[in-house]
């Protein structure tokens, strides 16, 4: 379940830092009852970035498959072996 805190709670930076490091997901900050910001630890951010990169690569691969730019793995390996004499 996501953590949601009001913007006034940002005054206690040490507590916010601790909360970010204990959470395994972003913390949402509200202002006047509406979403305003998202806070997260560096570890959570890096994890999300890695996932984003993987999802982007999968999306690119699916687009290439849809355009017919892919070949079966056995054919691909055979062409690499032939090209490099393996």
- The 10s digit of each residue's pLDDT in 16-69 is 999 999 999 999 999 999 999 999 999 999 999 999 999 999 999 999 999 988
Domain count, the chain: 2
2 has a pLDDT exceeding 90: no
74 has a pLDDT exceeding 90: yes
Residues 50 and 34 reside in one and the same domain: no
Tokens found for residue 85: 């004499």
pLDDT of residue 69: 87
pLDDT of residue 72: 87
34-39 and 27-31 beta bridge pairing: antiparallel
**Contact (CB, 8 A) for 19 and 4:** no
Return d(Cα 82, Cα 86) in angstroms, integer: 7
φ, ψ for residue 32, nearest 5 deg: 55, 35
Decide: pTM greater than 0.75.
no
CATH number for position 33: 3.40.1620
Residues 60 and 33 reside in one and the same domain: no
Can you give the residue range of the structural domain that contains 60?
45-86
Residues 36 and 51 reside in one and the same domain: no
pLDDT of residue 1: 78
Residues 35 and 60 reside in one and the same domain: no
Helix (H), strand (E) at residue 19: helix 13-22
**Contact (CB, 8 A) for 39 and 20:** yes
């Amino acid at each position: 379940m996501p953590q949601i805190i009001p913007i006034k709670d940002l005054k206690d930076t040490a507590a916010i830092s601790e909360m970010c490091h204990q959470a395994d997901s972003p913390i949402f900050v509200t202002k006047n009852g509406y979403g305003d910001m998202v806070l997260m630890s560096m570890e959570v951010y890096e994890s999300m970035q890695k996932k984003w990169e993987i999802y982007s690569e999968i999306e690119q691969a699916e687009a290439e498959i849809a355009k017919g730019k892919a070949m079966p793995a056995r054919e691909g390996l055979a062409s690499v072996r032939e090209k490099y004499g393996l």
